[in-house]
Amino acid sequence: MNLLINFSIFHLGWLACVVGAANNSAAEGCIAAVALIAVHLYRAELRRNELALIVVAALTGLFWESALLSQGWFAYAGQSPLSNLAPYWLLMIWALFATTINGSLAWMKGRLVLSMVMGAVFGPMAFVAGEKLGAIVFTDRPSGLLALALGWAVLMPLVMWIADRINRDPEHEEPLSDA
């Protein structure tokens, strides 16, 4: 897939989810994101690999974001105060993120230190942008940003490693037929 299209699809989906959540329209944002993921999968050469990566990334996001949420360092728009589970719109962003791993972010694969630094910088930046758009509120900004930086320093290379494992799995090597 064209890297610019892949990059654009992710950012359009991210924006739809974040602005949707900030404006009590998370479902609409997620519908837009699902449509963008469908476009990605339609254009993907190895759809089964991409779909597997999307599912694994969303589950990773559920675990990670829920763990962060339970610490009380920030709160999400539309989040039930009784729930320590990450909101569904944030998991959709993880699914969108997965669409970039074999696309516009593939150049980082195998570059452990670079992917750690990029994760540590750009992971928290996305949350700060989400805060400015009204989808997140930091209740303990220093701790939240530190946790995000450390976490994304591990998560970025981890998701890339997972993608490599999925792509090497013989069960996933054959492209899905269009039939």
User: What digits encode the pLDDT tens for the residues 9-66?
Assistant: 999 999 999 999 999 999 999 999 999 999 999 988 899 999 999 999 999 999 999 9
User: What digits encode the pLDDT tens for the residues 133-154?
Assistant: 999 999 999 999 999 999 999 9
Tokens of 37: 């993921």
**Distance in angstroms between the alpha carbons of the first and the last residue of the chain:** 20
Cα 31 to Cα 13: distance, rounded to the nearest angstrom: 9
Determine the 3-state secondary structure of 162 from DSSP.
helix
Domain layout of the chain by residue ranges: 3-172
Specify whether the CB–CB gap between 30 and 20 falls below 8 A. Answer: yes
Specify whether the CB–CB gap between 32 and 105 falls below 8 A. Answer: no
Specify whether the CB–CB gap between 175 and 45 falls below 8 A. Answer: yes
Q: Which helix (H) or strand (E) holds 106?
A: none
